[in-house]
């Protein structure tokens, strides 16, 4: 039974997600289709990569992952299909692939879409190609091999001798704030030293909690979430909204622009002592 995940930025307020699923079921009646999310930002690729990376790892070898994000931002004659960690990723050639994989996969092919004009015409061609890959167990069934793709890579924390600075990677539905610093990166830089996590100029946290119940009601906390990333939160509160935090945006970081007369902070710094 083939497994297909769908991750898109098209939402679920109309028929499109259902129609895409129908295209695949028509070709592969036994396909198991799993929704990751349909509410990706069209332009926040670090957020998309964080979401995909931490969902895809739980699927078995041979799973197909179809990602539709910022598909029509620029004209393209093909999508990219790649084999990565024994799974298949199909996505636009706009940099999202390397954001997810962290490097350029060795096995990649082009799925030609130059004659397709609409989203459903494109996904129909993708459905045919995925069915062909599944039947033949060969990526080459989807199209010609390619090596030249658009490459973009995840933001990495900046590191100094006694500090490290990370960017806000993701804000979840409860407005908890995820930073692009992993448990391993934190431990490597900390070296057993005490620390202070500083955000919004003078707000600090100096303890890593086990979970949300480790602190009292409405207290700030930091912990490493299920994906292994540093997360700051308020117990039963809205961290991002209360402190004016938002996802990292390079242009805003450079210009220091403000919205609604409130400064938005996009980075978190950790000092070691």
213 and 260 share one domain: yes
d(CA 143, CA 207): 52
The CATH number covering residue 210 comes to: 2.40.30.90
Statement to judge: residues 131 and 17 lie in one domain: yes
Structural domain contains residue 151: no
- Claim to verify: residue 96 and residue 50 sit in the same structural domain: yes
Contacts of 183 (CB under 8 A, 6+ apart): 224, 228, 229, 230
Could you tell me how far CA 263 lies from the centroid of its own chain? 25
Domain boundary among 142, 173, 205: 142
Residue 197 has, within 13 A of its CA and on its CB side, a CA count of: 21
Per-position pLDDT tens, the chain of length 273: 899 999 999 999 999 999 999 999 999 999 999 999 999 988 889 999 999 999 999 999 999 999 999 998 888 889 999 999 999 999 999 999 999 999 999 999 999 987 778 999 999 999 999 999 999 999 999 999 999 999 999 888 999 999 999 999 999 999 999 999 999 999 999 999 999 999 987 899 999 999 888 999 889 999 999 999 999 999 989 999 888 888 765 444 444 444 443 334 788 999 999
- 103 and 30 in one domain? yes
| Residue 210 CA: distances (Å) to CA of 94, 135, 166 | 38, 46, 21
Residues 50 and 102 in one domain: yes
Domain housing 124: 3-142
**Which of residues 114, 142, 170 is at a domain's end?**
142
Record the pTM. 0.88
Quote the pLDDT of residue 76.
84
DSSP H or E run through 254: helix 250-255
Q: Which of 121, 95, 125 is nearest to 111 (CA)?
A: 125
Is there a single domain that holds both residue 137 and residue 198? no
What residues pair up with 203 in beta bridges, in sequence order? 199
| Final residue before a domain boundary, out of 142, 177, 197 | 142
Are residues 127 and 7 part of one domain?
A: yes
Residue 134 lies in a domain: yes
Secondary structure letter of residue 241 according to DSSP: H
Q: Which residues pair with 37 in a beta bridge?
A: 7
Are 14 and 133 found together in one domain?
A: yes
Indicate whether 150 belongs to any domain.
no
């Amino acid at each position: 039974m083939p497994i297909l995940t769908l991750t898109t930025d098209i939402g679920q307020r109309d028929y499109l997600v259902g129609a895409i699923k129908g295209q695949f079921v028509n070709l592969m009646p036994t396909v198991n289709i799993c929704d990751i999310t349909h509410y990706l930002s069209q332009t926040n690729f670090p957020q998309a990569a964080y979401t995909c990376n931490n969902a895809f790892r739980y699927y078995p070898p041979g799973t197909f992952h179809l990602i539709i994000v910022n598909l029509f931002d620029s004209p393209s004659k093909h999508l990219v299909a790649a084999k990565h960690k024994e799974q298949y990723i199909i996505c636009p050639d706009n940099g999202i692939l390397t954001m997810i994989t962290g490097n350029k996969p060795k096995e990649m092919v082009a799925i030609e879409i130059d004659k397709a004009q609409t989203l459903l015409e494109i996904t129909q061609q993708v459905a045919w190609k995925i069915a062909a890959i599944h039947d033949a167990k060969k990526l080459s069934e989807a199209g010609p091999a390619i090596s030249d793709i658009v490459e973009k890579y995840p933001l990495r924390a900046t590191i100094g001798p006694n500090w490290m600075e990370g960017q806000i990677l993701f804000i979840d539905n409860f407005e908890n704030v995820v930073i692009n610093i992993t448990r391993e990166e934190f431990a490597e830089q900390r070296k057993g030293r005490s620390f202070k996590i500083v955000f919004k100029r003078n707000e600090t946290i100096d303890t890593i909690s086990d979970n949300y119940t480790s602190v009292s009601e409405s207290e700030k906390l930091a912990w490493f979430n299920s994906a292994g990333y540093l997360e700051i939160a308020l117990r039963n509160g809205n961290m991002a909204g209360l402190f004016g935090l938002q996802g990292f945006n390079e242009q805003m970081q450079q210009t220091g622009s403000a919205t609604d007369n409130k400064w938005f902070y996009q980075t978190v710094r950790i000092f070691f002592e």
